[in-house]
Amino acid sequence: MTLRLKRDPRLLNFPNLLSADINDIAIAWTGDQHYRAVFQPKGNQDTPLLGIYPMGSPCDQSLIPMFSLAKDLLAEDGGVALYEVPFSGFTDHRGMEASGQEFSNAYKFTTAWTVQGTIGLMTPYGILAGGGCDKTFPMLIHTMGIEPYRYVPWALLHAGHRSVGVMPDGREVTLGDLAIARVEFVAGQTSEASVEAIRQYAAQDVGVCENLASAMSQYVALCCAGFILAGDDLHARAPVREAFTRRTTSLFRNALAEGVVPADVIGPENFDNFIKAIALFGLSTNLPLHLPFMAHSWGIEHNPSTIWEAMKDSPWISDLQPVGRYPVNHIGAMLPSVIKYLVEAGAIADVKTLFGMPLSELYAEAPAMDFASQDVFHPIDAPLADHAPIALYRGNLCPTGAWVKEGKLERSSTTYTVHVCPDQKAFFHDTDHGRNLTNGTCYAISGDQSTIELLTVNFAIGAALQRDPELSILLLTDQRTSGFAGSRAAAAYHLPRNRLRSLKEGDRVQFSSLTRTIDFVDDDGVQDAEIDARAEAYREPVWPKTGTVKDLINNRLSSSETGAAIYE
């Protein structure tokens, strides 16, 4: 099929960014000439496509052969030229963390700006974007919804996150297990030989991620929302990635030829499916945190209340981590069948996908779901539980809600004594590198105006709970981050800053899973008036300028009510 591409006429309303004639805009013409000279891709260079993906991290390496294959497939039979433009992933976000710029928001938003600038410079006829983690995908979905980018055909490639290995004794291990083992070694709780044994078996392939469950969660939810194709085994092995890339590229060619653009197929129901997937599969707290940012550019407004209202009565049907038993590789080839089943059962809507056809058509050839042969996925009428293990808690510390993973180890109602930590470094100093977590303590990690990446804190908590399953602690932060600790200890993220930062050393906080509340209390009980008064009197300090992107992010951070987002 020869591809003869045309620009969507709605792009003509944005002459400063995209044009029907690339020669109309000097900077776009110059940029196009530069890309041609540098990349010289096969195919019709008069209708260029942009292939953009993160590069630098081990998580991203598998995207290289995937995009190389897609470039060849798109150029076949009079096809179009794909210009591969990788952007820095690993070096950017690790550098930000090391330099004090922090991670979660900084990486997501700076890469979003990079992608948006590249699209505007190149003026592509279509965009093939790659990702895989819980930062790249939200950035891509947000960018896709911005005018005029929503009037350009898009497709997404997922590199895969199957980092589950098997020890000689049959125990499954992930990079998270390796991190916990390292924390235990530093704490003198295990031997270097034990760490080395896990290292030998943990990571089997490129395309791995230390935050495996969270990365998997984004992929699964976006499949149900129609943004990305569901494939076998999260595309972890090279032959499976190749098959996934071939099918995605074939569908993308059809969408290009037919002029299918996100503006005509993506709407509120797609994001409703995303929310339903959080509940049905018991996925990461990262998803409701990032969703307001993802949907905002589409003109769809969500906040914790709207997300919770849509998911609170949903059954939980998937025994997958972070809350369930099974790591991600147990999805296997079942995801297309699961989605097909959920559509037929009416549990998710039969939404249009980025390829133009609805979910039911995209997965029409998937085998019928066989619930009797496995126990990873359960039918709607026989769920693991009648409500999602991701819940919105309220109370005087979080009037508009804080997201919590409701793990089996959480206590029904416990009062904790507050220990304030201004950052992750202080947490490790005060706990002797995570060796001495105090039972009954609420660790309130407040941070500065920007964001904190708490993966190391979470791994330390996980290691401590492996040593002492009866340890009862609470972790509170307002920062835009994720953490598997919520399935192992009472934890809540994204509290309003003026309430979290009003907590003082020795204060008491009551966490209750029975009432789904997190409250400031004293000997006389819940003290709404006291914490309200503190919050009203709180004034954000004048934080020193860093001369980095952190200053820009600090000026644009949203409130906890609007999610982990920056709004223009």
Instruction: Give pLDDT, residue 90.
Output: 43
Fold for the domain defined by 390-562 = Glucose Oxidase; domain 1 (3.50.30)
The C-alpha atoms of residue 490 and residue 410 are separated, in whole angstroms, by 6
The C-alpha atoms of residue 146 and residue 138 are separated, in whole angstroms, by 13
Nearest to residue 260, comparing CAs of 349, 357, 350, 351? Answer: 357
Which residues lie across from 52 on neighbouring strands?
85, 129
The C-alpha atoms of residue 437 and residue 491 are separated, in whole angstroms, by 14
The C-alpha atoms of residue 239 and residue 143 are separated, in whole angstroms, by 30
Element (H, E) at 204: none
Q: Which residues, 6 or more positions from 564, have their beta carbon under 8 angstroms from its beta carbon?
A: 104, 105, 289, 290, 292, 293, 480, 494, 558
DSSP characters over 436-460: -PPTTEEEEE---SS----HHHHHH
Nearest to residue 516, comparing CAs of 409, 387, 385, 392? Answer: 392
Task: Give me the amino acid identity at 290.
Answer: H
Instruction: Please count the CA atoms within 13 angstroms of the CA of 318 that sit on its side-chain side.
Output: 29
Q: Which residues, 6 or more positions from 16, have their beta carbon under 8 angstroms from its beta carbon?
A: 25
Number of C-beta neighbours around residue 136 at 10 A: 29
Angle between helices 212-225 and 286-296 (to 10 degrees): 50
Q: Which residues, 6 or more positions from 456, have their beta carbon under 8 angstroms from its beta carbon?
A: 179, 183, 424, 428
Instruction: Please count the CA atoms within 13 angstroms of the CA of 506 that sit on its side-chain side.
Output: 1
Query: Model pTM greater than 0.85?
Result: yes
Which residues lie across from 508 on neighbouring strands?
417, 521
HEC string for 256-308:
HHHCCCHHHHCCHHHHHHHHHHHHHHCCCCHHHHHHHHHHHCCCCCCCHHHHH
Q: Which residues, 6 or more positions from 217, have their beta carbon under 8 angstroms from its beta carbon?
A: 134, 278, 281, 283, 284, 286, 287, 322
The C-alpha atoms of residue 473 and residue 475 are separated, in whole angstroms, by 7
* 90: helix, strand or coil: helix
Number of C-beta neighbours around residue 85 at 10 A: 21
Instruction: Give pLDDT, residue 104.
Output: 45
Instruction: Give pLDDT, residue 25.
Output: 56
Number of C-beta neighbours around residue 400 at 10 A: 16
Tens digit of pLDDT per residue, the chain (568 long)?
A: 578 898 898 987 876 655 445 555 555 566 667 767 777 788 888 888 989 888 766 677 888 899 999 999 999 998 999 988 887 654 444 433 333 333 344 555 556 666 776 776 667 899 999 987 777 888 889 889 988 899 999 999 988 766 678 888 888 887 778 878 888 888 788 888 888 888 888 766 666 665 666 778 888 999 999 999 998 877 667 888 899 999 999 999 999 999 999 999 999 999 999 999 999 998 877 788 788 888 988 999 988 889 999 999 999 999 987 778 887 778 888 999 999 999 999 999 999 999 999 999 999 999 999 999 999 999 999 999 998 888 889 999 988 888 888 766 566 788 999 999 988 889 989 998 888 999 999 999 887 765 555 667 877 887 888 788 888 888 888 755 555 444 556 777 667 888 989 999 999 999 998 899 999 999 999 999 999 999 999 998 887 777 766 666 666 665 555 554 433 3
Q: Which residues, 6 or more positions from 220, have their beta carbon under 8 angstroms from its beta carbon?
A: 277, 281, 283, 331, 335
51 in Cβ contact with 84 (< 8 Å)? yes
Give residue limits of the domains in the chain.
9-163+207-362, 165-203, 390-562
Nearest to residue 554, comparing CAs of 136, 135, 101? Answer: 101
The C-alpha atoms of residue 305 and residue 36 are separated, in whole angstroms, by 48
Structure tokens at 292: 């307001």
The beta strands (E) that lie in 483-530 are given as: 490-493, 508-512, 517-522, 525-526
Q: What is the bridge-based pairing of β-strands 517-522 and 525-526?
A: antiparallel
Would you state the torsion angle of the CA atoms of residues 459, 462, 463, 468, taken in this order, to the nearest 10 degrees? 160
Would you state the torsion angle of the CA atoms of residues 525, 527, 528, 533, taken in this order, to the nearest 10 degrees? 180
For tokens 């080839």, name the residue. Answer: 333
* 384: helix, strand or coil: coil
Instruction: Give pLDDT, residue 12.
Output: 78
